[in-house]
Amino acid sequence: MDAFEKIEQILKDIEQNNPQNTEELETFRIQYLGTKNIFKGLSPLFRDLAPADRGRFGQLLNKAKQAAKSKFDTLQEQLSIASANQVERPDLTASAAPQSLGSRHPVSLVQNQIIEIFQRIGFTVAEDREIEKDWFNFTALGMPQDHPARDMQDTFYIKDSMENLLRTHTSSVQTRFMKDHKPPIRIIAPGRVYRNETISARSHCQFHQIEGLYVAENVSFADLRQTIYYFAKEMFGATKIRMRPSYFPFTEPSAEVDVWWGTATETDRKITKGTGWLEILGCGMVDPKVLENCGIDPEKYTGFAFGLGIERIAMLKYQIEDIRLLFENDVRFLEQFQSAAIF
Ligand code: DAH
Protein backbone atom coordinates (compact mmCIF):
# COMPACT_ATOMS: atom_id res chain seq x y z
CA MET A 1 0.00 0.00 0.00
CA ASP A 2 1.55 3.27 -0.97
CA ALA A 3 1.33 6.47 1.03
CA PHE A 4 -1.73 7.75 -0.85
CA GLU A 5 -3.63 4.53 -0.46
CA LYS A 6 -2.75 4.50 3.18
CA ILE A 7 -3.99 8.04 3.87
CA GLU A 8 -7.17 7.41 1.85
CA GLN A 9 -7.75 4.32 3.98
CA ILE A 10 -7.30 6.32 7.18
CA LEU A 11 -9.78 8.95 5.96
CA LYS A 12 -12.32 6.23 5.22
CA ASP A 13 -11.73 4.67 8.66
CA ILE A 14 -12.31 8.00 10.37
CA GLU A 15 -15.55 8.43 8.49
CA GLN A 16 -16.79 5.01 9.44
CA ASN A 17 -15.58 5.06 13.02
CA ASN A 18 -18.53 6.12 15.21
CA PRO A 19 -17.72 5.91 18.91
CA GLN A 20 -20.95 5.34 20.93
CA ASN A 21 -19.78 6.14 24.40
CA THR A 22 -17.02 7.94 26.27
CA GLU A 23 -14.79 4.87 26.33
CA GLU A 24 -14.96 4.37 22.59
CA LEU A 25 -14.40 8.07 22.08
CA GLU A 26 -11.26 7.90 24.20
CA THR A 27 -9.95 5.05 22.05
CA PHE A 28 -10.67 7.20 19.01
CA ARG A 29 -8.82 10.13 20.53
CA ILE A 30 -5.75 8.08 21.34
CA GLN A 31 -5.74 6.59 17.88
CA TYR A 32 -6.06 9.83 15.91
CA LEU A 33 -5.19 12.68 18.25
CA GLY A 34 -2.97 11.16 20.93
CA THR A 35 0.81 11.57 21.26
CA LYS A 36 1.37 8.33 19.37
CA ASN A 37 -1.39 8.86 16.81
CA ILE A 38 -1.69 6.96 13.58
CA PHE A 39 -0.43 9.91 11.50
CA LYS A 40 2.96 9.80 13.12
CA GLY A 41 3.49 6.36 11.58
CA LEU A 42 3.19 7.95 8.16
CA SER A 43 6.39 9.97 8.44
CA PRO A 44 8.66 7.33 6.84
CA LEU A 45 6.25 7.04 3.90
CA PHE A 46 6.30 10.79 3.51
CA ARG A 47 10.05 10.82 3.34
CA ASP A 48 9.98 8.27 0.52
CA LEU A 49 7.63 10.32 -1.62
CA ALA A 50 8.76 12.12 -4.71
CA PRO A 51 9.00 15.84 -3.94
CA ALA A 52 6.28 16.56 -6.49
CA ASP A 53 3.84 14.35 -4.56
CA ARG A 54 4.60 15.72 -1.16
CA GLY A 55 2.29 18.77 -1.47
CA ARG A 56 -0.73 16.65 -2.39
CA PHE A 57 0.08 14.15 0.38
CA GLY A 58 0.43 16.99 2.89
CA GLN A 59 -3.02 18.25 1.97
CA LEU A 60 -4.56 14.81 2.40
CA LEU A 61 -2.78 14.37 5.70
CA ASN A 62 -4.17 17.69 6.96
CA LYS A 63 -7.60 16.77 5.73
CA ALA A 64 -7.46 13.49 7.66
CA LYS A 65 -6.20 15.17 10.81
CA GLN A 66 -8.94 17.79 10.63
CA ALA A 67 -11.57 15.14 9.98
CA ALA A 68 -10.44 13.28 13.08
CA LYS A 69 -10.39 16.42 15.19
CA SER A 70 -13.80 17.67 14.10
CA LYS A 71 -15.37 14.25 14.52
CA PHE A 72 -13.91 14.02 18.01
CA ASP A 73 -15.22 17.49 18.95
CA THR A 74 -18.71 16.78 17.65
CA LEU A 75 -18.99 13.43 19.36
CA GLN A 76 -17.63 14.74 22.61
CA GLU A 77 -20.26 17.46 22.66
CA GLN A 78 -23.04 15.03 21.82
CA LEU A 79 -22.01 12.63 24.54
CA SER A 80 -21.77 15.31 27.19
CA ILE A 81 -25.25 16.63 26.29
CA ALA A 82 -26.61 13.10 26.47
CA SER A 83 -25.10 12.49 29.88
CA ALA A 84 -26.36 15.84 31.20
CA ASN A 85 -29.85 14.98 29.97
CA GLN A 86 -29.63 11.64 31.62
CA VAL A 87 -29.27 13.29 35.00
CA GLU A 88 -32.31 15.51 34.56
CA ARG A 89 -34.64 13.25 32.67
CA PRO A 90 -36.56 10.78 34.79
CA ASP A 91 -36.28 7.19 33.76
CA LEU A 92 -39.75 6.51 32.49
CA THR A 93 -39.16 2.80 32.43
CA ALA A 94 -38.39 2.64 36.15
CA SER A 95 -41.07 1.17 38.37
CA ALA A 96 -43.04 3.65 40.49
CA ALA A 97 -41.79 4.31 44.00
CA PRO A 98 -44.00 2.42 46.46
CA GLN A 99 -46.40 4.80 48.17
CA SER A 100 -48.22 3.76 51.26
CA LEU A 101 -51.88 4.66 51.13
CA GLY A 102 -53.29 6.49 54.12
CA SER A 103 -56.44 5.33 55.80
CA ARG A 104 -59.24 7.11 57.53
CA HIS A 105 -59.50 6.94 61.27
CA PRO A 106 -62.35 4.69 62.42
CA VAL A 107 -63.86 7.59 64.35
CA SER A 108 -63.94 9.66 61.15
CA LEU A 109 -65.38 6.75 59.19
CA VAL A 110 -68.24 6.31 61.62
CA GLN A 111 -68.79 10.03 62.06
CA ASN A 112 -69.01 10.55 58.31
CA GLN A 113 -71.36 7.65 57.91
CA ILE A 114 -73.69 9.01 60.60
CA ILE A 115 -73.60 12.48 59.06
CA GLU A 116 -74.37 11.04 55.67
CA ILE A 117 -77.40 9.14 56.96
CA PHE A 118 -78.89 12.22 58.63
CA GLN A 119 -78.11 14.45 55.67
CA ARG A 120 -80.30 12.20 53.55
CA ILE A 121 -83.29 13.18 55.67
CA GLY A 122 -82.60 16.88 55.69
CA PHE A 123 -80.25 17.49 58.59
CA THR A 124 -77.34 19.86 58.11
CA VAL A 125 -74.05 19.87 59.99
CA ALA A 126 -73.44 22.50 62.66
CA GLU A 127 -70.17 22.81 64.50
CA ASP A 128 -69.12 24.98 67.38
CA ARG A 129 -66.41 25.63 69.94
CA GLU A 130 -64.83 23.10 72.30
CA ILE A 131 -64.03 25.71 74.92
CA GLU A 132 -67.50 26.70 75.98
CA LYS A 133 -69.27 28.94 78.42
CA ASP A 134 -70.82 27.21 81.39
CA TRP A 135 -74.16 28.72 80.38
CA PHE A 136 -74.35 26.92 77.01
CA ASN A 137 -73.02 23.63 78.33
CA PHE A 138 -75.08 23.47 81.53
CA THR A 139 -77.30 26.33 82.64
CA ALA A 140 -79.28 26.79 79.42
CA LEU A 141 -79.75 23.05 79.28
CA GLY A 142 -81.61 23.00 82.57
CA MET A 143 -78.59 22.49 84.82
CA PRO A 144 -78.04 25.55 86.99
CA GLN A 145 -74.97 25.84 89.18
CA ASP A 146 -76.13 23.55 92.00
CA HIS A 147 -77.96 21.01 89.84
CA PRO A 148 -77.09 17.44 90.82
CA ALA A 149 -76.96 16.32 87.17
CA ARG A 150 -73.72 18.26 86.79
CA ASP A 151 -72.07 15.53 88.80
CA MET A 152 -72.87 13.08 86.00
CA GLN A 153 -70.25 14.78 83.90
CA ASP A 154 -66.95 15.56 85.56
CA THR A 155 -65.89 18.79 84.02
CA PHE A 156 -62.57 20.34 83.08
CA TYR A 157 -62.86 24.02 83.95
CA ILE A 158 -60.50 26.54 82.45
CA LYS A 159 -58.26 28.42 84.89
CA ASP A 160 -60.55 27.90 87.90
CA SER A 161 -62.92 30.49 86.47
CA MET A 162 -65.95 28.17 86.53
CA GLU A 163 -67.16 30.26 83.62
CA ASN A 164 -65.24 28.63 80.78
CA LEU A 165 -64.92 24.89 80.40
CA LEU A 166 -64.13 22.14 77.93
CA ARG A 167 -67.56 21.13 76.72
CA THR A 168 -68.73 17.89 78.28
CA HIS A 169 -71.19 17.11 75.50
CA THR A 170 -72.22 18.38 72.08
CA SER A 171 -75.57 19.44 73.57
CA SER A 172 -73.86 22.82 73.96
CA VAL A 173 -74.16 23.19 70.18
CA GLN A 174 -77.96 22.91 70.54
CA THR A 175 -78.16 25.92 72.80
CA ARG A 176 -75.67 27.91 70.74
CA PHE A 177 -77.56 27.19 67.55
CA MET A 178 -81.00 27.91 68.97
CA LYS A 179 -79.82 31.28 70.30
CA ASP A 180 -78.67 32.31 66.84
CA HIS A 181 -81.30 30.73 64.58
CA LYS A 182 -85.04 30.68 64.22
CA PRO A 183 -86.97 27.45 63.69
CA PRO A 184 -87.26 25.34 61.67
CA ILE A 185 -83.92 23.97 62.90
CA ARG A 186 -82.68 20.58 61.79
CA ILE A 187 -79.02 20.01 62.65
CA ILE A 188 -76.52 17.38 63.59
CA ALA A 189 -73.47 18.53 65.48
CA PRO A 190 -70.43 16.27 65.54
CA GLY A 191 -67.47 17.10 67.73
CA ARG A 192 -65.00 16.34 70.46
CA VAL A 193 -66.02 16.46 74.09
CA TYR A 194 -64.06 16.20 77.34
CA ARG A 195 -64.65 14.71 80.74
CA ASN A 196 -62.39 14.48 83.72
CA GLU A 197 -62.42 10.71 83.85
CA THR A 198 -59.79 8.10 84.50
CA ILE A 199 -58.56 6.60 81.26
CA SER A 200 -59.29 2.91 80.91
CA ALA A 201 -60.30 0.41 78.25
CA ARG A 202 -63.90 1.65 78.54
CA SER A 203 -63.59 5.36 79.22
CA HIS A 204 -61.44 8.25 78.13
CA CYS A 205 -61.08 11.92 79.03
CA GLN A 206 -61.85 12.88 75.44
CA PHE A 207 -64.22 11.37 72.94
CA HIS A 208 -66.63 12.36 70.19
CA GLN A 209 -70.35 12.80 70.11
CA ILE A 210 -72.99 13.65 67.58
CA GLU A 211 -75.88 15.73 68.69
CA GLY A 212 -79.13 15.94 66.75
CA LEU A 213 -81.73 18.66 67.07
CA TYR A 214 -85.02 19.23 65.31
CA VAL A 215 -87.16 22.19 66.29
CA ALA A 216 -90.20 23.27 64.32
CA GLU A 217 -93.99 23.48 64.66
CA ASN A 218 -95.70 20.23 65.60
CA VAL A 219 -92.59 18.09 66.07
CA SER A 220 -93.73 15.02 67.99
CA PHE A 221 -92.32 12.06 69.83
CA ALA A 222 -93.46 9.93 66.88
CA ASP A 223 -91.14 11.98 64.63
CA LEU A 224 -88.30 11.32 67.04
CA ARG A 225 -88.97 7.61 67.12
CA GLN A 226 -89.21 7.33 63.35
CA THR A 227 -86.02 9.36 62.83
CA ILE A 228 -84.05 7.18 65.24
CA TYR A 229 -85.51 4.04 63.69
CA TYR A 230 -84.41 5.21 60.25
CA PHE A 231 -80.93 5.86 61.58
CA ALA A 232 -80.69 2.45 63.30
CA LYS A 233 -81.86 0.72 60.13
CA GLU A 234 -79.35 2.54 57.92
CA MET A 235 -76.44 2.34 60.34
CA PHE A 236 -76.79 -1.17 61.73
CA GLY A 237 -79.31 -2.79 59.45
CA ALA A 238 -81.45 -3.03 62.58
CA THR A 239 -84.94 -4.38 62.17
CA LYS A 240 -86.30 -2.95 65.41
CA ILE A 241 -85.52 -0.48 68.16
CA ARG A 242 -86.90 -0.04 71.63
CA MET A 243 -87.13 3.08 73.75
CA ARG A 244 -86.68 2.94 77.49
CA PRO A 245 -87.76 5.84 79.74
CA SER A 246 -84.77 7.75 81.01
CA TYR A 247 -83.78 11.10 82.42
CA PHE A 248 -81.87 14.04 80.96
CA PRO A 249 -82.21 17.55 82.39
CA PHE A 250 -82.81 19.04 78.94
CA THR A 251 -85.48 16.72 77.57
CA GLU A 252 -88.94 15.74 78.74
CA PRO A 253 -89.84 12.99 78.24
CA SER A 254 -86.44 11.37 77.80
CA ALA A 255 -85.51 7.96 76.49
CA GLU A 256 -82.62 5.68 75.86
CA VAL A 257 -82.69 3.77 72.62
CA ASP A 258 -81.62 0.18 72.10
CA VAL A 259 -81.26 -1.48 68.72
CA TRP A 260 -81.98 -5.12 68.15
CA TRP A 261 -78.54 -6.63 67.57
CA GLY A 262 -79.42 -10.26 67.93
CA THR A 263 -77.88 -13.16 69.81
CA ALA A 264 -76.74 -15.32 66.92
CA THR A 265 -73.02 -15.42 67.66
CA GLU A 266 -70.84 -15.58 70.72
CA THR A 267 -69.79 -11.95 70.10
CA ASP A 268 -73.42 -10.81 69.74
CA ARG A 269 -74.22 -12.36 73.08
CA LYS A 270 -71.14 -10.86 74.66
CA ILE A 271 -71.71 -7.27 73.53
CA THR A 272 -75.43 -7.36 74.29
CA LYS A 273 -74.85 -9.09 77.63
CA GLY A 274 -77.03 -11.90 76.45
CA THR A 275 -80.08 -9.72 75.81
CA GLY A 276 -79.72 -9.09 72.08
CA TRP A 277 -80.37 -5.38 72.74
CA LEU A 278 -77.69 -2.73 72.47
CA GLU A 279 -77.96 0.80 73.79
CA ILE A 280 -76.96 3.35 71.17
CA LEU A 281 -78.16 6.78 72.20
CA GLY A 282 -80.06 9.11 74.50
CA CYS A 283 -82.87 11.32 73.30
CA GLY A 284 -86.06 13.12 74.15
CA MET A 285 -88.36 16.03 73.49
CA VAL A 286 -86.56 19.31 74.09
CA ASP A 287 -87.71 20.67 77.43
CA PRO A 288 -89.85 23.82 76.85
CA LYS A 289 -87.69 25.60 79.40
CA VAL A 290 -84.59 24.98 77.23
CA LEU A 291 -86.37 26.44 74.19
CA GLU A 292 -87.30 29.45 76.26
CA ASN A 293 -83.75 29.88 77.59
CA CYS A 294 -82.57 30.09 74.00
CA GLY A 295 -85.20 32.57 72.86
CA ILE A 296 -87.57 30.17 71.12
CA ASP A 297 -91.29 30.35 71.89
CA PRO A 298 -92.28 26.99 73.47
CA GLU A 299 -95.96 27.72 72.83
CA LYS A 300 -95.34 27.72 69.13
CA TYR A 301 -92.50 25.26 68.67
CA THR A 302 -91.57 21.82 69.87
CA GLY A 303 -88.48 19.79 69.19
CA PHE A 304 -86.59 16.62 69.75
CA ALA A 305 -82.91 16.04 70.45
CA PHE A 306 -80.60 13.11 70.67
CA GLY A 307 -76.95 12.46 71.43
CA LEU A 308 -74.67 9.55 70.78
CA GLY A 309 -71.05 8.64 71.36
CA ILE A 310 -69.08 7.99 68.20
CA GLU A 311 -66.33 5.90 69.79
CA ARG A 312 -68.91 3.55 71.21
CA ILE A 313 -70.42 2.97 67.79
CA ALA A 314 -66.99 2.61 66.16
CA MET A 315 -66.02 0.05 68.81
CA LEU A 316 -69.18 -1.94 68.15
CA LYS A 317 -68.87 -1.73 64.42
CA TYR A 318 -65.21 -2.72 64.23
CA GLN A 319 -65.14 -4.90 67.36
CA ILE A 320 -62.56 -2.75 69.09
CA GLU A 321 -62.16 -3.77 72.70
CA ASP A 322 -60.16 -0.87 74.08
CA ILE A 323 -61.11 2.80 73.56
CA ARG A 324 -57.48 3.86 74.08
CA LEU A 325 -56.58 2.38 70.70
CA LEU A 326 -58.68 5.12 69.12
CA PHE A 327 -56.46 7.83 70.58
CA GLU A 328 -52.98 6.33 70.42
CA ASN A 329 -52.64 6.57 66.64
CA ASP A 330 -50.56 3.43 66.40
CA VAL A 331 -50.08 2.94 62.68
CA ARG A 332 -50.37 -0.84 63.00
CA PHE A 333 -53.87 -0.35 64.36
CA LEU A 334 -54.91 2.37 61.93
CA GLU A 335 -53.64 0.50 58.87
CA GLN A 336 -56.36 -2.06 59.37
CA PHE A 337 -58.93 0.46 58.20
CA GLN A 338 -57.16 0.78 54.84
CA SER A 339 -59.87 -1.00 52.96
CA ALA A 340 -62.76 0.45 54.93
CA ALA A 341 -65.24 2.40 52.87
CA ILE A 342 -64.22 5.99 52.36
CA PHE A 343 -66.94 8.54 52.93
N1 DAH B 1 -75.74 15.05 76.23
C2 DAH B 1 -76.00 13.66 76.62
C3 DAH B 1 -74.72 13.04 77.15
O4 DAH B 1 -73.66 13.56 76.90
C5 DAH B 1 -76.48 12.89 75.46
C6 DAH B 1 -77.84 13.31 75.06
C7 DAH B 1 -78.93 12.69 75.60
C8 DAH B 1 -78.04 14.36 74.17
C9 DAH B 1 -80.21 13.06 75.28
C10 DAH B 1 -79.34 14.75 73.84
C11 DAH B 1 -80.41 14.08 74.40
O12 DAH B 1 -79.59 15.73 72.99
O13 DAH B 1 -81.64 14.46 74.08
O14 DAH B 1 -74.79 12.05 77.79
pLDDT tens per residue, range 120-178: 999 999 999 999 999 999 999 999 888 877 776 789 999 867 789 999 999 999 999 99
Residue to substitute in 195, 306, 310, 311 for testing ligand 1 pocket (most ligand atoms within 8 angstroms of CB) = 306
Let me know whether 185 and 78 are in one domain: no
DSSP states along 22-51: HHHHHHHHHHHHSTT-TTGGGHHHHHHS-H
* Statement to judge: residues 215 and 275 lie in one domain: yes
Q: Are 199 and 324 in contact (CB under 8 A)?
A: yes
Q: Give the span between the Cα atoms of 313 and 16, in whole angstroms.
A: 79
Indicate which atom in ligand 1 lies nearest the CA of residue 170: 1
Residue 227 C-alpha to ligand 1 middle, in angstroms? 16
Looking at ligand 1, which atom is closest to the CA of residue 211?
12
> How much is the pLDDT for 147?
86
Which of 174, 185, 261 has its CA nearest to residue 209? 174
Q: Residue 171 CA: which ligand 1 atom is closest?
A: 1
pLDDT tens-digit map of 257-270: 999 999 999 988 98
| 100 Cα to the center of ligand 1, angstroms | 39
Asked if 196 and 336 sit in the same domain, the reply is yes
Q: So what's the pLDDT on residue 343?
A: 42
Q: What are the Cα distances from residue 339, in Å, to 102, 103, 334, 335, 343?
A: 10, 8, 11, 9, 12
Cβ neighbors of 119 (< 8 A, separation 6 or more) are 125, 188
In this structure, are 130 and 72 located in the same domain? no
- Ligand 1 centroid vs 56 CA: distance in angstroms? 109
The total of structural domains in the chain comes to: 2
Residues 298/292, Cβ–Cβ less than 8 Å: yes
Residue nearest to atom 6 of ligand 1 (CA): 307
pLDDT lower than 70: segments of the chain: 1, 86-88, 100, 152, 160, 338-343
Residue 143 lies in domain: 106-342
Cα–Cα dist 230/235, whole Å: 8
Q: What is the CA radius of gyration of the chain?
A: 42
CA dist., res. 156 & res. 150, Å (int): 12
pLDDT of residue 190: 98
Question: How far does the centroid of ligand 1 lie from the alpha carbon of residue 191, in Å?
Answer: 13
Of the three residues 13, 48, 83, the one that is the final residue of a domain is: 83
Domain end, chosen from 17, 48, 83, is at: 83
* CA geometry: angle 67, 68, 69, nearest 5 deg: 95
Supply the pLDDT for residue 338: 66
Q: 97 lies in a domain? A: no
Q: Tell me: the pLDDT tens digits for 233-262?
A: 999 998 999 999 999 999 999 999 999 999
- Exposure of 172 by Cβ count < 10 A (0-12 exposed, 13-18 middle, 19+ buried)? buried
For residue 194, report the distance from its CA to the centre of ligand 1, in Å: 14
Q: Within 6 Å (CB) of ligand 1, which residues are found? A: 169, 171, 211, 248, 251, 282-284, 305-307
